[in-house]
């Protein structure tokens, strides 16, 4: 079983190499040419050294005088060979390096591009750590054997040349070569087979370790405040220990095989000397030939290792490639349609949900996904504001994801101006609707870049207008470098409310015709929130107003809406104006009152924190 999988690995590894060669044929040709040149010159150098010893040194020792002219000629020949060998090495190294790093760059791009094309459901199933290691260490591992590959190919050519030249010299010496070279090759193959499972395991553990590390840095706040540092460290330590053991077992195998690979050619040289001495006495070969062949075995030892390097890296390459392929071959991306909405139309858009049913993909594919939304039907008429209200887990965020097509419904339709969103082009969709998510995301970049995202037609004037609407112009103007201020990874240098307002400004800056706000102003003062919403409904800078779908909790926000949709357990339970729902739906009235109480308590806590920041509950928790 084990040997079958290793044979598999050899075959699959060679196919991965074949793919690399097909992708970079010209550079590969340059590298192999350099390597073959080097190999042939290695053989040539052995014969020149043989000639120097046999035809110059031995006679000189016998005669007691040196033939200066012949010696100079031999020196010149060796020098010429060395120079050409340098050229060969240069070509090989340069080609191999180019090829390896180009492939790595190309596949890193392909993998990260694929991440963006794959649906959210796929991302939910794959941890960030795995994605990071797919794009980094797996891509690197896949193309690791490319570095020694040209050397190995050149060495194969060299071995054929060496055996041929042995046969031209003497059949007995050739037999020694025929015994030693295949033995070297076989040893290399055994080596790589033994290595395969160890390398695959190490590669998997690398991904797991990076996953855990990523998670604990990401959740640093939770880990610290909950006093879970030791447990997190232990969790990480256990997996890091496994990786260490896996790598040590790789090293141990290397420790056993490397000396054997080193010794075999030396044994070959020894055999050549023994057989050669006999053949010399028989008069079958000359001293020159014996020295040449003995020297050949010595200089071959090193290049033959290149074949071992390639074979030893193949398992890791296959493991990395499989993990890269899993991303590249993943399906489920949501293709865009080809219907465009006229970009000249800047009036508010109409959003329609018609009998929408939705379920998240289950963690394990064979389980049925539980329905999260059912029979959801409502409209956001052009220019109107509709509030989504409902208890936690009711499906509000899911509805906003459907509205901007982060996910597609299982059945039913989501439409923009009457067109199914699945039929719209990417540009039309992005140009028409913008979502401000429940969890604001800020890039590690300037304020300006965070708002424009390099989109066309958004200059500083538009940026400031958007900031004004989001009530963020005040704090941005007060930043040390204004729009050029770097906001730090995930906006850590900003307060929660500032981050929310920045992401809001980002959405507004694109002048969407429909704005979807998922609890996007929760960290903002209620008065400011109401002012922001009022501004969006009727921009005072003459900009076009947008239709708004807003997930709302506060009475003041809800009261601004033209209509309220009340959802519970993924169903629309009631719809109407705020006063209507208050009067007719008991659950709704309870919820709004509960939110209001929570809000008041939060307000009080906030004041308390500001007065005595050092003794807030959190600090005490941390100190303990
Ligand atoms: N990625 C996901 N995979 C599986 N189930 C999910 C996923 N996201 C949400 N759910 C489930 O879908 C249901 C609706 O979640 P949703 O986030 O839409 O609720 P919500 O109304 O926005 O809640 P909240 O007020 O807490 O933000 C919940 O039962 C939740 O457990
Ligand atoms: Mg939500």
Residue 79 in tokens: 């020098």
Pair 30, 88: CB distance under 8 Å: no
Return the pLDDT at 606. 57
Which residue carries 């390398």 as its tokens? 199
Q: State in Å: Cα 566 to ligand 2 middle.
A: 14
**Ligand 1 site, residue 74, Cβ cutoff 6 A:** no
Return the pLDDT at 2. 46
Q: State in Å: Cα 424 to ligand 1 middle.
A: 26
Pocket test for ligand 1, best of 118, 122, 372 (most atoms within 8 A of CB): 372
Return the pLDDT at 434. 92
Q: What angle do CA 48, 54, 58 make, to 5 degrees?
A: 135
- Please, what is the end-to-end C-alpha distance for the chain in angstroms? 55
The predicted model scores a pTM of 0.72
Pocket test for ligand 1, best of 365, 374, 398, 517 (most atoms within 8 A of CB): 398
Q: How far apart are CA 412 and CA 421, in angstroms?
A: 12
The closest ligand to the CA of 392 turns out to be 1
**Ligand 1 site, residue 387, Cβ cutoff 6 A:** no
Q: Can you list the residues of the chain whose pLDDT is less than 70?
A: 1-7, 363-368, 489-492, 539-544, 603-624
Q: Tell me whether residue 253 is exposed, middle or buried, using C-beta atoms within 10 angstroms of its C-beta: 0 to 12, 13 to 18, 19 or more.
A: middle
With H, G, I as helix, E, B as strand and everything else as coil, classify residue 486: strand
Helix, strand, coil proportions of the chain in percent (round to 5)? 70, 10, 20
**Ligand 1 site, residue 393, Cβ cutoff 6 A:** yes
Q: How far apart are CA 92 and CA 30, in angstroms?
A: 7
Return the pLDDT at 432. 93
Return the pLDDT at 443. 86
Could you identify the atom of ligand 1 that is nearest to the CA of residue 398? Answer: 18
Return the pLDDT at 27. 94
Could you identify the atom of ligand 1 that is nearest to the CA of residue 390? Answer: 21
Helices (H), 418-459: 426-432, 447-452
**Ligand 1 site, residue 292, Cβ cutoff 6 A:** no
**Ligand 1 site, residue 367, Cβ cutoff 6 A:** no
Taking CA atoms only, the protein residue closest to ligand 1 atom 31 is 393
Closest CA to 435 of 366, 492, 554, 516: 516
Return the pLDDT at 624. 29
Taking CA atoms only, the protein residue closest to ligand 1 atom 10 is 360
Return the pLDDT at 7. 63
Q: How far apart are CA 17 and CA 404, in angstroms?
A: 42
Q: State in Å: Cα 372 to ligand 1 middle.
A: 8
For helices 287-328 and 25-51, angle between their N-to-C axes, nearest 10 degrees: 160
**Ligand 1 site, residue 431, Cβ cutoff 6 A:** no
Q: Which residues pair with 547 in a beta bridge?
A: 514
**Ligand 1 site, residue 395, Cβ cutoff 6 A:** yes
H-helix or E-strand containing 596? helix 586-611
Cβ-based neighbours of 502, under 8 Å, separated by 6 or more: 440, 442, 447, 450, 451, 470, 472, 487, 491, 494
Specify the pairing of strand 547-551 against strand 385-389: parallel
Q: How far apart are CA 446 and CA 465, in angstroms?
A: 17
Pocket test for ligand 1, best of 360, 362, 373 (most atoms within 8 A of CB): 360
């Amino acid at each position: 079983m084990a040997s079958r999988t290793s044979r598999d690995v050899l075959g699959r590894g060679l196919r991965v190499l074949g793919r690399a060669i097909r992708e970079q044929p010209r550079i590969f040709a340059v590298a192999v040419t350099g390597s073959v040149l080097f190999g042939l010159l290695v053989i040539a150098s052995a014969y020149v050294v043989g000639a120097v010893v046999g035809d110059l040194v031995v006679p000189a020792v016998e005669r007691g005088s040196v033939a200066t002219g012949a010696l100079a000629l031999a020196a010149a020949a060796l020098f010429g060979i060395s120079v050409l060998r340098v050229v060969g090495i240069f070509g090989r190294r340069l080609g191999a390096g180019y090829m390896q790093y180009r492939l790595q760059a190309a596949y890193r791009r392909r993998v990260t591009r694929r991440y963006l094309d794959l649906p959210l459901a796929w991302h939910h199933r794959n941890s960030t750590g795995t994605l990071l290691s797919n794009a980094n260490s797996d891509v690197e591992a896949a193309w690791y054997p490319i570095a020694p590959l040209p050397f190995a190919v050149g060495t194969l050519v060299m071995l054929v040349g060496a055996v041929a030249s042995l046969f031209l010299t003497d059949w007995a010496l050739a037999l020694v070569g025929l015994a030693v070279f295949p033995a070297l090759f076989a040893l290399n193959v055994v080596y790589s087979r033994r290595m395969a499972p160890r390398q695959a395991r190490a590669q998997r553990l690398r991904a797991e370790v990076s996953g855990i590390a990523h998670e604990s840095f990401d959740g640093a706040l939770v880990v610290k405040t909950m006093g879970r540092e030791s447990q997190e460290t232990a969790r990480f330590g256990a997996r890091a220990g496994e990786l260490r053991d896996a790598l040590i077992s790789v090293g141990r195998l290397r420790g056993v095989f490397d000396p054997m690979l080193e010794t075999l050619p030396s044994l070959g040289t020894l055999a050549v000397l023994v057989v050669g001495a006999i053949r010399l006495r028989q008069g079958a070969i000359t001293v020159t030939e014996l020295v040449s062949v003995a020297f050949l075995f010595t200089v071959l030892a090193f290049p033959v290792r290149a074949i071992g390097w390639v074979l030893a890296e193949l398992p890791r390459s296959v493991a990395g490639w499989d993990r890269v392929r899993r991303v590249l071959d993943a399906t489920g991306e949501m293709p865009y349609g080809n219907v465009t909405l006229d970009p000249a139309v800047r009036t508010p858009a109409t959003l329609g949900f018609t009998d929408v049913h939705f379920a998240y993909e289950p963690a394990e594919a064979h389980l049925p996904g539980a329905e999260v939304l059912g029979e959801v039907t409502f409209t956001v008429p052009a220019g109107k504001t509709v509030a989504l209200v409902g208890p936690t887990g009711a499906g509000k965020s899911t509805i906003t994801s459907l509205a901007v097509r982060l996910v597609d419904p299982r059945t039913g339709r989501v439409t923009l101006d009457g067109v199914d969103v699945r039929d719209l082009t990417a540009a039309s969709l992005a140009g028409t609707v913008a979502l401000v998510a429940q969890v604001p995301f800020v890039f590690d970049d300037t304020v300006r870049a965070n708002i424009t995202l390099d989109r066309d037609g958004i200059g500083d004037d538009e940026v400031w207008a958007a900031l004004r609407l989001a009530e963020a112009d005040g704090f941005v103007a007060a930043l040390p470098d204004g729009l050029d201020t770097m906001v730090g990874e995930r906006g850590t240098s900003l307060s929660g409310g500032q981050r929310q307002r920045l992401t809001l400004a980002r959405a507004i800056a694109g002048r969407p015709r429909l704005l979807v706000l998922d609890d996007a102003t929760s960290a903002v003062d209620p008065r400011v929130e109401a002012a922001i919403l009022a501004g969006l409904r009727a921009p005072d800078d003459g900009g076009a107003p947008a239709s708004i779908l807003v997930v709302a909790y506060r009475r003041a926000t809800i009261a601004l809406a033209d209509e309220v949709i009340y959802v519970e357990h993924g169903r629309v339970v009631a719809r109407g104006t705020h006063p209507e729902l208050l009067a007719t739906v008991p659950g709704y009235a309870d919820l709004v009152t509960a939110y209001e109480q929570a809000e008041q308590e939060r307000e009080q806590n906030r004041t308390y924190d500001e007065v005595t920041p050092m003794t807030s509950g959190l600090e005490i928790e941390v100190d303990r």
